[in-house]
């Protein structure tokens, strides 16, 4: 009897404990109550301190002033400070020596990996498999969290239609539908369903907004875009991130139609908060608040702080204008107390949701065993392989036989440990990079002779290494030439006026080709290059991108056939830089291009078509896509629709089905892509728009039925009154392996 009573008491106690929410499970009302209690106790200086983020050193160390600022409650967040011991040292000061014991939020650019580096985001988008991006972000989150980092400034969601822009490397390319799929996946990977969970971190959707549309592809530059273009092209990936629960958003550097993004009430307040109901906080990009003066919007530092705060920026990165001028702005009535309190409230809300108040420290014992775990390294290799794109493969040049007698590995990027990591490489280390040369040597049989010659540098004009490279190619059975860009030629502040291979790399390729030996070009790069001569002459081309820590092994997996390439381009490859901007989902003109009609929209000196279209990519096997069918030839329209949820109420929907068959001799992947065109509408519509895709794996001879569903969300657009509508009329439906090679049918949306 006593034992039974004891069991009942233990059970009751357990139920009570389960009913008490932890920081990760707190009800919103409980969090708001705790925020209110804190706000009531905070001085103005402490409030402004929460709005301040300062950077640490590049090596992860904090700066000496951070200790004193945190002790006084004047610093709410840092960036670049990392390592469990360092972050704990600062956090102990916050939690034990500051008056209010508000924890510090540690941020770092974990873009495509922390220590285990995955392919650059543009490469991952080439997989057309958002699940891979979710997986890599999840691994990156685990490594970063165990190193004391609780917040990443990722994912970057900027649509990029101009490959001259260096930061095209950080996004998912030119298409809003594909980019939206990857946006949601990356947010889920970093944050999960609860970013206070032990292996998750806070994500940040950046750069809000239209940063990728800068004039001339020049970084930080001006944008002039209609609201339709903003809503249809540049907003959707951010909406997908908000729908996925992203906790923070970063305001961009660029000017948008005369109002810089870091002081833009339309984007920061009307759209983000009022329309989309985002309740996290906005952090400015690095000194973008102070740069409002350079833009000519703000007259001075004080004016810049006023404009940014009132527009909706909550946390200021690196510059200190909120802190320095907040008291005067409040005293003069230029910023209201409610505005300051709301910014603080938003930041505290995220810190509570992140679990920082209850679990501020990092277990220092976890960090050494967390980084570069075998399963993480294996995932990096797999994801890199699935992200590469076979651009050309005449006469089945690839894959190579592992027992081939001799291979010449040539080029400035064949044994470069830094380039595969890309520009934002987290806390990645060059010593952990597998180069292409190392990957090839590890793959071939002991009898295979692998020779190496650099040939030239990436950038300079010297050709002194050509003779050695040519001689090596002549004495080998095949030549693999690795050319492209160095790591410092991509990323932030890396705009280029030319898309040609830099230095003498093209001349090196030509010299190797002229030996008459089978030549394979492998591109190591972060943007589409202009390589028309290579495409016209070299029999095999592999776009490997900047593939991360395991790039060399992944390249070898594909070159020797252990992995069948299945990636597709997420961005159009131009023939020449003069074609830029060139993207698949353009509007038609009144005079579409015609080869034999001078007075149509085209160039005199180059074809109007791209070198490679959006969605393009080959395989070692072949596929057929046939039997395109629709569930209905006509569906009823439902008039105006306010775009507030992902799946809109519809009076009808169309199911699209096709057969995809592997008609080759190898197992492989095909990406089945669905495009539509609204033929005639109240506003001109693109010639085609991606509205669905599926990557499928098929054995030789296997056929599969692939299904898509078109609803109002895919069929609608923003009209002249800025309402999301589905209009009556004819719609073309196109399905194929890329944006050009399509089979087609149509259906009608009937009038009401």
> Length of the chain, please?
752
> What is the enclosing helix (H) or strand (E) of 204?
strand 204-208
Residue 259, phi then psi, degrees to nearest 5: -125, 110
How far CA 400 is from CA of 253, 336, 519, in Å, comes to 47, 68, 12
> Which value, in Å, is the radius of gyration of the alpha carbons in the chain?
27
For domain 28-42+106-350, the question of CATH label 3.40.50.300 is answered with no
Cα(301)–Cα(289) distance, integer angstroms: 9
Strands 389-393 and 540-543: antiparallel
pLDDT of residue 636: 85
Instruction: Render 142-161 in DSSP notation, one character per residue.
Output: HHHHHTT--EE---B-----
Per-residue pLDDT band for 752 (boundaries 50, 70, 90) equals: low
Residue 8, phi then psi, degrees to nearest 5: -65, -45
Cα(378)–Cα(385) distance, integer angstroms: 11
The predicted-structure confidence for 507-538, as pLDDT tens digits, reads as follows: 999 999 999 999 999 999 999 999 999 999 99
Over residues 220-242, the mean pLDDT reads 98
Cα(692)–Cα(714) distance, integer angstroms: 9
CB atoms within 10 A of CB 183: 30
The predicted-structure confidence for 129-187, as pLDDT tens digits, reads as follows: 999 999 999 999 999 999 999 999 999 999 999 999 999 999 999 999 999 999 999 99
Over residues 225-239, the mean pLDDT reads 98
Q: CATH for 623-750, among 3.40.50.300, 1.10.10.10, 2.60.40.10, 1.10.287.130?
A: 2.60.40.10
Catalytic residues: 285
Q: Are 658 and 203 in contact (CB under 8 A)?
A: no
Per-residue pLDDT band for 652 (boundaries 50, 70, 90) equals: confident
pLDDT of residue 44: 98
- b or e along 310-333 (b: 16 or more beta carbons within 10 Å of the residue's beta carbon)? bbbbbbbbbbbbbbebbeebbeee
353: alpha, beta or left? (left if phi > 0; alpha if psi -120 to 50): alpha
CB atoms within 10 A of CB 8: 10
The predicted-structure confidence for 612-624, as pLDDT tens digits, reads as follows: 999 999 999 999 9
User: CB within 8 A of 276, min separation 6: which ones?
Assistant: 239, 242
Cα(111)–Cα(186) distance, integer angstroms: 10
Cα(155)–Cα(424) distance, integer angstroms: 12
127: number of CA atoms within 13 Å, CB side?
Answer: 23
Q: Are 72 and 50 in contact (CB under 8 A)?
A: no
- Residue 21 predicted with pLDDT over 90: no
pLDDT of residue 637: 73
Cα(42)–Cα(35) distance, integer angstroms: 11
Name the class of domain 376-579.
Answer: alpha beta
**What is the largest distance, in Å, between two alpha-carbon atoms of the chain?**
99
Domain residue ranges in the chain: 28-42+106-350, 43-105+351-372, 376-579, 623-750
pTM: 0.95
How many helices and strands (H and E) does the chain possess?
Answer: 23, 26
Over residues 299-303, the mean pLDDT reads 98
In 466-550, alpha helices (H): 466-474, 505-513, 532-537
440: alpha, beta or left? (left if phi > 0; alpha if psi -120 to 50): alpha
């Amino acid at each position: 009897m006593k034992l039974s009573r004891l069991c009942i008491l233990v059970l009751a106690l357990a139920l009570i404990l389960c009913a008490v929410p932890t920081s990760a499970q707190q009800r919103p009302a409980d969090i708001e109550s705790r925020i209110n209690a804190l706000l009531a106790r905070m001085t103005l200086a402490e409030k402004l301190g929460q709005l301040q983020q300062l950077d640490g050193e590049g090596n992860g160390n904090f700066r000496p002033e951070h200790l004193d600022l945190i002790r006084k409650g004047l610093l709410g967040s840092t960036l670049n400070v990392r390592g469990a011991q360092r972050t704990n040292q600062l956090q102990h000061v916050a939690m034990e020596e500051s008056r209010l014991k508000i924890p510090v939020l540690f941020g770092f650019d974990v873009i495509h990996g922390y220590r285990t580096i995955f392919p650059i985001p543009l490469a991952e988008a080439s997989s057309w498999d958002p699940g891979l991006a979710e997986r890599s972000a999840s691994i990156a989150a685990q490594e970063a969290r165990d190193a004391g980092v609780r917040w990443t400034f990722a994912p970057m969601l900027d649509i990029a239609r101009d490959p001259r822009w260096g930061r095209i490397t950080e996004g998912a390319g030119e298409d809003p539908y594909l980019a939206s799929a990857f946006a949601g996946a990356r947010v889920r990977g970093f944050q999960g369903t609860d970013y206070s969970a032990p292996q998750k971190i806070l994500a940040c959707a950046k750069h809000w907004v239209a940063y990728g549309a800068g004039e001339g592809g020049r970084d930080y530059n001006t944008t002039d875009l209609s609201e339709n273009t903003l809503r249809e092209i540049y907003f959707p990936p951010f909406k997908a991130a908000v729908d996925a629960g992203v906790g923070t958003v970063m305001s961009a550097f660029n000017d948008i139609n005369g109002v810089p993004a870091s002081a833009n009430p339309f984007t920061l307040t009307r759209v983000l908060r009022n329309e989309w109901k985002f309740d996290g906080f906005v952090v400015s990009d690095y000194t973008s608040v102070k740069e409002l003066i350079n833009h000519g919007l703000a007259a001075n530092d004080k004016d810049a702080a006023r404009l940014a705060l009132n527009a909706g920026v909550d946390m200021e990165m690196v510059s200190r204008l909120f802190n320095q001028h907040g008291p005067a702005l409040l005293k003069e009535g230029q910023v209201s107390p409610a505005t300051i309190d709301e910014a603080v409230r938003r930041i505290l809300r995220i810190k509570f949701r992140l679990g920082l108040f209850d679990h501020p420290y990092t277990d220092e014992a976890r960090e050494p065993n967390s980084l570069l775990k075998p399963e993480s390294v294996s995932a990096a290799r797999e994801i890199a392989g699935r992200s590469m794109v076979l651009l050309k493969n005449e006469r089945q040049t690839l894959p190579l036989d592992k027992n081939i007698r001799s291979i010449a590995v040539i080029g400035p990027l064949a044994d470069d440990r830094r380039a595969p990591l890309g520009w934002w490489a987290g806390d990645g280390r060059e010593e952990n990079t597998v180069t292409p040369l190392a990957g090839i040597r590890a793959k071939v049989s002991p009898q295979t002779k692998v020779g190496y010659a650099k040939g030239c540098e990436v950038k300079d004009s010297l050709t002194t290494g050509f003779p050695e490279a040519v001689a090596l190619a002549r004495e080998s059975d095949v030549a693999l030439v690795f050319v492209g860009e160095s790591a410092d030629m991509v990323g932030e502040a890396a705009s280029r006026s030319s898309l040609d291979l830099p230095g003498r790399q093209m001349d090196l390729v030509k010299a190797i080709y002229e030996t008459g030996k089978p030549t394979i070009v492998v591109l190591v790069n972060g943007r589409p290059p202009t390589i028309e001569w290579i495409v016209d002459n070299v029999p095999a081309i592999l776009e490997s991108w900047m593939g991360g820590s395991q790039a060399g092994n992944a390249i070898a997996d594909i070159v020797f056939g252990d992995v069948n390439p299945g990636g597709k381009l997420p961005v159009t490859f131009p023939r020449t830089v003069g074609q830029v901007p060139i993207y698949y989902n353009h509007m038609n003109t009144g005079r579409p291009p015609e080869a034999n009609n001078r007075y149509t929209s085209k160039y005199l000196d180059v074809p109007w078509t791209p070198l490679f279209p959006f969605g393009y990519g080959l395989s070692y096997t072949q596929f057929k896509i046939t039997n395109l069918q629709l569930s209905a030839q006509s569906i009823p329209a439902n008039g105006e629709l306010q775009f507030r949820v992902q799946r809109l109420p519809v009076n009808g929907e169309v199911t699209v089905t096709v057969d995809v068959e592997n008609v080759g001799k190898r197992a492989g992947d095909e990406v089945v892509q669905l495009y539509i065109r609204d033929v005639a509408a109240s506003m001109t519509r693109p010639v085609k728009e991606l509205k669905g895709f599926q990557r499928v794996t098929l054995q030789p001879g296997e056929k599969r039925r692939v299904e898509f569903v078109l609803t109002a969300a895919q069929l609608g657009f923003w009209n002249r009154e800025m309402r999301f509508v589905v209009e009556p009329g004819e719609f073309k439906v196109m399905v194929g392996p890329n944006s050009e090679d399509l089979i087609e049918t149509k259906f009608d949306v009937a009038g009401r």
